[in-house]
Structure 1
Amino acid sequence: MKALYLAIALLAMTGCASSPGKPDVQKDALYQSLGGMPGIERLVDAALTQVHGDLRINLFFENTDLADLRRLLIEQICQASGGPCTYTGRSMEEAHSGMNLSEADFAAFVEDLIAAMNTVQLAESTQQQVLGLFGPMKPQVVGQ
């Protein structure tokens, strides 16, 4: 578990940064690595399946419109990965306000996301990039 927290912390610091002096990688490279929209949809469906079965955190989604959550997660990952989407949801602070999510809750979500990425057989390098998208969101989610 400590290794997972360390990986998240490292990704939060470096996941979205580009190296000075080096040209930017193709803007939609992660989107393409995910398999475009069909790949993102498969990933989100696998992640929601994992979360639904996770007794540690599934109660947070009891009163959630799952179809809307699915749509918003697809938009969010699509936009963040360089795809042609625009995220239309609330900010992470607004979406998680009043939930008082803990570090353990966030870690459980990350574990479920990793399991989902393994289920859809994403390459390790792609998995690290996806985690790099979610790591920086931790302060906007935990404790809100």
Structure 2
Amino acid sequence: MSQSESDLLDQLGGMDGVRRVVDEMYVRVLADPELTHFFDGVPIEKLARMQTEFIASITSGDIQYTGADLTKVHAGRGITGVHFSKFCGHLTDALEANNVSSHAIDQVLGKLAMYSDKVTGSSNVDG
């Protein structure tokens, strides 16, 4: 089985690998002056657990995300496409720091991009 055919979650190091990536990503996100305010008052440990489950669910057919509806949880927060891109940049940096292959990173980002409208509350519809 080639790397592209294997389970993407395995390429990320399984649940433990995803959790390491998520923990590192939030260190970066919380240090970013353009993003940190979105997390004021948010219990980061719980958020990291939910984010780990979410990333695992989009990278494996065997895991279900049980957290809150993404549209509802992000609604009215003022998150723009620029914010979403910065968040994805921090995720990319954390994946690279954890020696995830560029191919697997591209796959993760492609899957995550499918949720950008739910996070930003915008839609990309051409007539």
Pairwise TM-score range, normalised by the shorter structure: 0.7 to 0.9
Query: For residues 13-68 of structure 1, what are the alpha-carbon distances to aligned partners after superposition, in whole Å with 9 as ceiling and x for unaligned?
Result: xxxxxxxxxxxx45xx1011011111111111111111011111011001111111
**2:37 matched to which residue of 1?**
59
Structure 2 residue 112 is the aligned partner of structure 1 residue 111: no
The AA in structure 2 aligned to 1:115 is D
Q: What does 1:15-54 correspond to in 2, within 5 Å?
A: 25-26=5-6, 29-54=7-32
The AA in structure 2 aligned to 1:42 is R
**1:16 matched to which residue of 2?**
none
Q: Is the CA contact 1:101–1:141 (under 8 Å) kept in the aligned structure 2?
A: yes
Deviation at 1:83, TM superposition (A): 5.9
1:131 equivalent among 92, 99, 109: 109
Q: Is the CA contact 2:75–2:120 (under 8 Å) kept in the aligned structure 1?
A: no
**1:9 matched to which residue of 2?**
none
Gaps of 5+ in 2: 123-127
CA distance in 1, matches of 2:121, 2:21: 26
Structure 2 residue 50 is the aligned partner of structure 1 residue 72: yes
Deviation at 1:85, TM superposition (A): 3.1
Structure 2 residue 59 is the aligned partner of structure 1 residue 81: yes
Aligned pair count reads 119
Runs of 4+ in 1 over 4 A off after TM superposition: none
CA distance in 1, matches of 2:9, 2:78: 31
Q: Percent of aligned positions with the same letter in both sequences?
A: 28
CA RMSD of aligned residues (A): 1.7
CA distance in 2, matches of 1:48, 1:130: 17
Query: For residues 85-144 of structure 1, what are the alpha-carbon distances to aligned partners after superposition, in whole Å with 9 as ceiling and x for unaligned?
Result: 321111210110110211211111111111111211211001001101210111111146
**2:71 matched to which residue of 1?**
93
TM-score, length basis structure 2: 0.86
TM-score, length basis structure 1: 0.76
**2:125 matched to which residue of 1?**
none
Gaps of 5+ in 1: 1-24
